[in-house]
Amino acid sequence: METSNGSSGTDFILLGFSDRPQLERISSAVVFIFYVVTLVGNTTIILVSYLDAQLHTPMYFFLSNLSFLDLCYTTSIIPQMLVNLWSPKKSITYGGCVLQFFSALVLGATECLLLAVMAYDRYAAVCQPLHYTVIMHPQLCQRMVLTAWLGGLGSALILCSLTLKLPRCGHRKVDNFFCEMPALIKMACVYSKVIEIVVFVLGIVFLLIPLLLILISYGIITHVVIRIRSTSRWQKILNTCGSHLTVVTLFYGTAIYMYMRPQHITYQNEGKFLTLFYTIVTPSLNPLIYTLRNIDVKSAIKKLLGIENCQPKSYYMEK
In a domain, 5, yes or no: no
In a domain, 138, yes or no: yes
In a domain, 1, yes or no: no
In a domain, 184, yes or no: yes
Q: Classify residue 310 as left (phi > 0), alpha (psi -120 to 50) or beta.
A: beta
**Residues 70, 283 contacting (CB under 8 angstroms):** yes
State residue 136's pLDDT score. Answer: 94
What's the pTM? 0.84
Domain residue limits at 236 = 12-317
State residue 161's pLDDT score. Answer: 92
- Total domains in the chain come to 1
Q: What is the DSSP letter of 8?
A: B
C-alpha–C-alpha distance, residues 208 and 203, integer Å? 7
For residue 315, what are the CA distances in angstroms to 60, 97, 125?
A: 13, 44, 8
Between helix 94-127 and helix 58-86 the angle, nearest 10°, is 150
In a domain, 221, yes or no: yes
Query: Residue 185: which residues within 8 A CB-CB, separation 6 or more?
Result: 163, 166, 192, 195, 263, 264
In a domain, 282, yes or no: yes
Q: To which H or E segment does residue 109 belong?
A: helix 94-127
- Strand 173-174's sheet: what is its strand order? 91-92, 12-14, 173-174
State residue 135's pLDDT score. Answer: 92
In a domain, 36, yes or no: yes
C-alpha–C-alpha distance, residues 49 and 55, integer Å? 5
Query: Residue 133: which residues within 8 A CB-CB, separation 6 or more?
Result: none
Q: To which H or E segment does residue 13 belong?
A: strand 12-14
For residue 151, what are the CA distances in angstroms to 107, 144, 160, 294?
A: 10, 10, 14, 29
In a domain, 6, yes or no: no
**Residues 314, 54 contacting (CB under 8 angstroms):** yes
State residue 280's pLDDT score. Answer: 86
pLDDT tens track, the chain, 319 positions: 444 444 555 788 888 776 777 777 788 888 899 999 999 999 989 998 888 888 889 989 999 999 999 999 999 999 988 888 887 778 888 899 999 999 999 999 999 999 999 999 989 988 888 899 999 999 999 999 999 999 999 999 999 999 988 888 878 888 888 888 888 888 888 878 888 889 889 989 999 999 999 999 988 888 888 777 767 666 767 776 777 788 888 888 888 887 777 655 555 566 677 777 888 888 888 887 777 666 777 777 777 777 755 444 444 434 3
Q: To which H or E segment does residue 132 belong?
A: helix 132-135
C-alpha–C-alpha distance, residues 258 and 86, integer Å? 27
φ, ψ dihedrals at 72, nearest 5°? -65, -40
**Residues 304, 48 contacting (CB under 8 angstroms):** yes
State residue 3's pLDDT score. Answer: 47
CB atoms within 10 A of CB 292: 11
CATH for 271: 1.20.1070.10
